[in-house]
């Protein structure tokens, strides 16, 4: 398990913060009014995220946010 964690941390370290932030602000929020990821999150909570295209959209628009959150978690955790 620790080996996978180290691999993920190394992978995330290769992605610059700026690239992830730009990805979140473009792909993660597009289309911008309202943000598509917000619509998909609302559909998920309501149980309406059932079509394959909706799941694809959810993962496509959510991936930058997920990677940014993981990178932040690894960066902010205390070193052991």
pLDDT per residue as tens, the chain (80 positions): 567 778 888 889 899 999 999 999 999 888 888 888 888 899 999 999 999 999 999 999 999 999 999 999 988 887 65
- Is residue 13 assigned to a domain? no
How many domains are contained in the chain? 1
Residue 9 lies in a domain: no
pLDDT of residue 1: 56
pTM > 0.75: yes
In a domain, 65, yes or no: yes
In a domain, 21, yes or no: no
Domain that holds residue 39: 35-75
Phi, psi of 32 (to 5 degrees): -85, -15
What confidence score (pLDDT) does residue 46 get? Answer: 95
Does 2 reside within a domain? Answer: no
Inside any domain, residue 47: yes
């Amino acid at each position: 398990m620790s080996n996978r964690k180290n691999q993920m941390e190394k992978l995330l370290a290769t992605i610059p913060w700026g690239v992830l932030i730009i990805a979140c602000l473009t792909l993660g929020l597009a289309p911008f009014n309202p943000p598509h990821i917000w619509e998909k999150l609302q559909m998920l909570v309501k149980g309406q995220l059932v079509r394959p295209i909706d799941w694809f959209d959810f993962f496509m628009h959510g991936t930058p946010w997920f990677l940014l959150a993981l990178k932040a978690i690894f960066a902010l955790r205390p070193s052991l």
